[in-house]
Amino acid sequence: MIFPRTMLTMAFFSLLISLDANEGFSGTIYYKWLYPTDSTAGEFNNFSFDRIYLKYEKAWGPDMKINLTTDVAAPTQGEGWHAYQKFAYLEYSSAVGQFLIGLQGMNIFNVAEKTWGYRFLAKASMHDRKFSNSADMGLGYVNTFGENLHLHLTLTNGIGYKHVENDQYKKMAVQVVYGPKNLSQSKGFNAGFVGSFEPYTYQGADTLTESRTVIALFGGLATPALRVGAEFDVLTDSGMDLTKWLMAVYVEHRIPVLPDLKMKVFGRVEYYEPDLDLEPDRETDFIVGLNFSPAKAFKVAPNLRYHLPEGRTGSITAYQLNFEFKY
């Protein structure tokens, strides 16, 4: 949901004034320097913010807490910055699980994104290819069975957090994960399944009720020195007569030199088929780089990007220097 910049500024400073400076308030900034080798691809040598998140989280006793997070998004060419309310939900914990009410994170690629572990550098593969929004308005249910089996259900508008609902239909999604859900912070392995179904009104020669379906499988492994992950995702849109899929593999390895810098080498390869009925249209993308942390809550990651369309014509190479600041 979008807010004018003046409203965002007023809300932000009101929050700072009314709250203790260290109580529940935090934020994250993604910053980059992009240097493409070919400006005809639509990008130019530039410095920019990718994201600025402002978060307030507060517990109400042992059972409830609220999360309010504002997302300031990078503009496209010729546009100004946009501020959105990304999260605004109540989380209620009970003996039968957790209930989330309001504008909340989706359960489609959130686990795979943590296994990738470099959101400040690139979105999760499904997020980047628009398989799903990252947040939406609705209801959620989360529970853990035993120590390792996690269930996350959502019923949402389906339009995402940047727009208001535009039809009568709702999006249903289920996520089942075995193992730690955040391998960037935990050791072990996980494996999971995601499925979503969303009816919508399709305006063609006739007005029809069609649907979008997403099916995804993912998994990962994390040790003290290595983290690897993989996913396979399929989206089917009956109204557009479209089926697309992607497969991604990502890896991070700790470098045992200069331990104070926590140096790591990382990479991701992604194969994307935007339409099974069109040939050739497959895209392959590579990211490889180095990540180090010279100070607490500060990361620096020089990296190389390479985009290779099927047929090897129109390839794009770009260099980036990405930063993450947390406070």
Mean residue pLDDT of the chain comes to 89
What pLDDT is attached to residue 281? 85
Confidence of residue 6 (pLDDT cuts 50, 70, 90): very low
Residue pLDDT, tens place only, 244-294: 999 999 999 999 887 888 899 999 999 999 999 888 789 999 999 999 999
Q: Does pLDDT of 12 surpass 60?
A: no
- Residue 105 near residue 116 (C-beta atoms within 8 A): no
Helix (H) or strand (E) holding 125: helix 125-128
Average the pLDDT over each of 100-114, 160-174, 223-237 and give the range with the smallest value. 160-174
Domains for the chain: give ranges and CATH numbers.
2-35+43-326 (2.40.160.10)
Question: What is the residue whose two structure tokens read 């470098």?
Answer: 255
Q: pTM of the prediction? A: 0.89
Q: What are the contacts of 80-89 at 24+ separation with CB within 8 A?
A: 80/5, 81/5, 82/2, 83/2, 83/3, 83/4, 83/5, 83/8, 84/1, 84/2, 84/3, 84/161, 84/162, 85/1, 85/3, 85/161, 86/53, 86/134, 86/135, 86/161, 87/55, 87/135, 87/161, 89/140
Backbone φ, ψ for residue 39 (5° rounding): -70, -15
- Residue 190 near residue 179 (C-beta atoms within 8 A): yes
- Residue 188 near residue 218 (C-beta atoms within 8 A): no
Q: What are the contacts of 277-283 at 24+ separation with CB within 8 A?
A: 277/241, 277/242, 277/243, 279/310, 280/309, 280/310, 280/311, 281/309, 281/310, 282/309, 282/310, 283/307, 283/308, 283/309, 283/310
Residue pLDDT, tens place only, 89-104: 999 999 999 999 999 9
